[in-house]
Amino acid sequence: EVQLVESGGGLVKPGGSLRLSCAASGFTFSGYTMIWVRQAPGKGLEWVSSISSSSSYIYYADSVKGRFTISRDNAENALYLQMTSLRAEDTAVYYCARDIVLHYWGQGTLVTVSS
């Protein structure tokens, strides 16, 4: 069974940093592009970042470019999102998902940016 479990969310002050993790199991992690998507409270879905299976190709939404860094560890079946210079508008549930047609999602982890 495919499982994606996010962790690392929490309350952080504006300008602060946070690192999200996504633990993957039930599939060959190293064979798939992985995605971060976020959803602000009461709002729609926003693609944040993608990383190819071997980390050769990395893409970011303009809203996070230069502040967020996506990475992965295929040996540990783990996906990461390092978030810096956080803003109030980054407050959202962050989901990790598998592949560019997002058949599998985690349960999400809430990031709240507030003073």
Partner 1 sequence: DIEMTQSPSSLSASVGDRVTITCRSSQSISTYLTWYQQKPGKAPKVLIYAASSLQSGVPSRFSGSGSGTDFTLTISSLQPEDFATYYCQHSYSSLLSFGGGTKVEIK
Closer of 90 and 106 to partner 1 (Cβ): 106
Contact string (CB under 8 A) for partner 1, positions 55-94, x = contact: --x-x-xx--------------------------------
Rank residues 1 and 62 by Cβ distance to partner 1 and give the closer one.
62
Q: Which of 49, 30, 32, 27 is nearest to 94 (CA)?
A: 49
Out of 14, 45, 76, 88, the residue judged to bind partner 1 by CB under 8 A = 45
100 contributes a contact to partner 1 by CB under 8 A: yes
Which CB, 50 or 72, lies closer to partner 1?
A: 50
